[in-house]
Each structure stands twice: as C-alpha cells, then as structure tokens.
Amino acid sequence: MQIRKDTGFTLIEVVLGLSITAALAAILYLTLQHTIYSGTSISETYETHQDIRRKIQFVKQLMAQATVPIPKIPDAVADPSPFRGTSHSLTFYGFMGPDRQADILSQVWISFKRSEKKLVLKWKPFDLLQAHKLGSPQIYQTVIFRNVTRTKISYLARQNNRPIWLNNWSTKYEAPEAVKINLAFNNRQAINFTARVNAMRVHMQEGGNAKP
C-alpha cells in the first residue's frame, strides 16, 4: 500500500512565517514614519529660521530709528535718560504706530519675561505721554520671540576712544552706538545679533509731532 505524503505547513512553520512578516511590517512602518518626520522637521526648521531672520531684521530697523526727543510741548519734561537698558531689558524712543508701522514717535520697551519665556515688545505713542488730559495712554504689545530660556543684552560705548561692551546703560542724554542681543531657546538653539543705534535728535511740536 502507498502512503500519501502531506504537503501542508506545520504549526511551527506558520508561526515562524507570521513572525517574520510582522517584523518586516514593523520595520517598514518605522522607516516610513521616520521619513515623514524628517521631512516635516526640515520644513519646520526652515520656517523657523525664516521667521527668526524676519524678526531680527525688524528689531534692527527699530533700533536704527532710536531717537532722543527734545519736547517743546507746554508742561512737557525732557527725559534725561532717553535710552536705558539692563542685561534683560531696554527702553528707548522710536517710531512705532498702533499697527507696528514707523509713523509715530513712541516710547518703546523690549523685555525678557522669564516666567513666560518670551521676549516682548511694548510701545506707547509719545503724544499720549505728554497730553495727560487725554486720559490713560494706551500701551501696545506684541511677542517677538517665544520659548526663550535666557537672554543677555549688551551696549556698545566708547571709553578712552576704545569700544567697550557694557551690561547696563544709563548715560544721560546719550544712546549706545549699538546693542547686542543674545537669546537661548528651549530646543538649545541660540542666536545673537548686533543692532546699530541711530540716536537721532528730534524736536517735539504741539500734539506730539516730531521734527528733526
């Protein structure tokens, strides 16, 4: 009598085949996920760099418009320190409007909010600073950088005709030649840039208008 040989798979062979298939599928899934994540990270990094460059340029333009206002408004008092700064914040006068357009002479603040991890820009129109009868002046605010963990601001001065960087600035009736800003972020990224200061003197007229 002839015995027929069974050509099917054993249980061990089936389990082994399924295990190999599952391992290959897992490897393929992880590879695909890594490829998608890498593409997204590259795109996000590019957008972040573009945004940082745009904001740095905005701060540089703002610092270049820094002024020393000389008020001619009745009851107005000249600010003896039109430019003041520490290692974490600075204030000066520059041209800023409600929509961040350079059209109105305003008092400007740039400060590091440690608890909120933000570098914040605030400004107050100059005519409202002096026209106290108009009521409480409105202060506008926007965030320049987020996720900031550390900041250091330095000020360029001349000492014996040699350049020197200071951690604070309070010289009366003068502004520094430049301001250096160093920032560190949550993702360990760090940026630093230097902004030149114009320190143009302007004469204030009635109503807070500026005239060089």
Structural domain spans, the chain: 56-211
What would the pLDDT profile of 6-42 be if each residue is shown by its tens digit? Answer: 566 677 777 777 788 888 887 877 776 666 555 545 4
What would the pLDDT profile of 104-161 be if each residue is shown by its tens digit? Answer: 778 889 999 999 999 999 988 765 444 444 455 678 899 999 889 999 999 999 888 8
Measuring CA to CA, which residue among 105, 192, 101, 126 is closest to residue 153? 192
- Return the structure tokens found at 113: 């909010």
Asked whether the predicted pLDDT for residue 211 surpasses 60, the reply is no
For the whole prediction, is pTM greater than 0.75? no
Q: What are phi and psi of 181, to 5 degrees?
A: -120, 125
Tell me, what's the pLDDT at 109? Answer: 93
Look up residue 80 and give its DSSP letter: S
Residue where the block lists tokens 């490829």: 35
> How do the residues of the chain divide into helix, strand and coil, expressed in percent and rounded to 5?
30, 35, 35
